[in-house]
Amino acid sequence: MKNWIYAALAAFLATGCAPHGGYTLTGEVPEAWEGKPVVLFTTDTGQAEAIDSTTVANGKFRLQGVLDAPRNCRVAVYLDPQDRTDRNLTVTFPVFLDSTAVNAVCDAAKGDPVFTLTGGATQTEWQAYRAALEPLAKERERAFDEYIAAFYYREDGKKGVELARRVDEKAGRIRDFKIAYVREHPASAVSLAIVQELCDRQSRLDKAQMESLLGALTPQLRESAAGRYTAAGIQGKRIVEGQPLPDLELPDAEGIVRRVSDFIRPGHYTLVEIWASWCMPCRGEIPFVRRAYEKYHRKGFDVLYVSIDSDAANWKRALDEEKMPWPQLLDTGRTSFSAYETTAVPTSILVDGEGRICRLNARGGWLDGALEEIYGK
């Protein structure tokens, strides 16, 4: 299998690391975008940093500059130069840049603008890598669709657990593919981008695995700006399976300040759920958490909900409507986002009786499956 997966990439990897230095990015866009600003950002060090800009002239743009290494970037075209915060009026596309030229052609004739990129050694390698990965990604997508239909629409919990495990198996094949790619191409900027993906929030890898994967890259990549950022992120990660869940002090529904650790009992397992009253997926998950709670609570399964509502009245209204039988805390300052390294709700973390994280993404069939393994069916 490995032979055919990497055959498409061989032509782009014969020289190891793509060259870097002076980049050139040209673009062809609709004439209606005449005079619109075009900005180039690097995106591989945690936040977008603008490094170049130009304007559209005669339906084209050109960006040129110098990089110390191949970089993972994003281009933004602002259709309303006076309001660069409106995403509906900002057209973006990702691109890898090195010292080989890339051309981007925009097709906006049939709806939303779509860019087709050609050229560039690192960009071409990335596209070949994504093409090789696509069959595995589609397998996982099909498995996930089957899981959603079974668990949420047919409310077949048994089948949902089976399909959640199948999704994990497909996701594991994707993860193995990515790890193999990194280890076989240690000098590639694409490999560094893959390491960043694998070590991102709620990764299933432990710290030792993350450090080993980053260590497989060449010193040149590890010492680049993106490499140093990745190393710092791994070093600072707290939300990893097997690690203790950070504690927080937050008020409950009566205004009494409590610790998250107050609700984690020896010998029990606790689901810590970050949610919000306005989050429909969060509200939709409550009946399934209640089902698990009713089945396993007497065996030692507890639940703690932490809301990020900014309006306490809305939160209390939701509590009245949902009538959840487990404790609730309110986090109006969203300290749980930084503490638990997330940016979205719902976020579901299962911890053991010593407060160690034993399952990330512990919702739906994954929660039921974990509880079956702990307590039996």
SS3 category, 293: helix
- The Cβ of residue 307 has, within 10 Å, a number of other Cβ atoms equal to 28
User: Which residue among 66, 96, 119 closes a domain?
Assistant: 119
User: Which residue among 183, 214, 236 closes a domain?
Assistant: 236
Look up the pTM and report it. 0.90
For residue 18, with 0-12 CB atoms within 10 Å meaning exposed, 13-18 middle and 19 or more buried, which class applies? Answer: buried
How many structural domains does the chain have? Answer: 3
Domain contains 64: yes
Calpha distance 155→29 (Å, rounded): 48
pLDDT at 68: 87
Pair 128, 39 in one domain: no
Decide: 285 and 152 in contact? Cβ < 8 Å: no
pLDDT at 201: 77
The length of the chain in residues reads 377
Decide: 274 and 308 in contact? Cβ < 8 Å: yes
Domain contains 170: yes
Beta strand pairing call for 269-275 and 347-351: antiparallel
Pair 114, 156 in one domain: no
CATH of the domain at 327: 3.40.30.10
Domain contains 276: yes
Pair 159, 214 in one domain: yes
Domain that holds residue 149: 124-236
Domain contains 6: no
Pair 83, 138 in one domain: no
Decide: 260 and 306 in contact? Cβ < 8 Å: yes
Sheet of 114-119, strands arranged across: 60-66, 22-28, 102-107, 114-119
Decide: 74 and 95 in contact? Cβ < 8 Å: yes
Q: Dump the DSSP string for 34-98.
A: TT-EEEEEE-SSSS-EEEEEEE-BTTEEEEEEE-SS-EEEEEEEESSTT-TT-GGGEEEEEEEES
Beta strand pairing call for 249-251 and 257-259: antiparallel
DSSP tag of 204? S
pLDDT at 19: 53
- The Cβ of residue 336 has, within 10 Å, a number of other Cβ atoms equal to 22
pLDDT at 202: 73
pLDDT averaged per 10 residues, the chain (length 377): 45 46 93 97 95 98 95 97 92 97 94 96 98 98 98 96 98 97 98 96 88 97 96 94 96 97 98 98 98 98 98 98 98 96 96 97 97 94
User: Which residue among 210, 236, 262 closes a domain?
Assistant: 236
- Residue type (1 letter), 71: R
Decide: 104 and 26 in contact? Cβ < 8 Å: yes
pLDDT at 61: 98
Calpha distance 107→91 (Å, rounded): 12
Calpha distance 171→149 (Å, rounded): 18
CATH of the domain at 38: 2.60.40.180
pLDDT at 14: 40
Pair 63, 159 in one domain: no
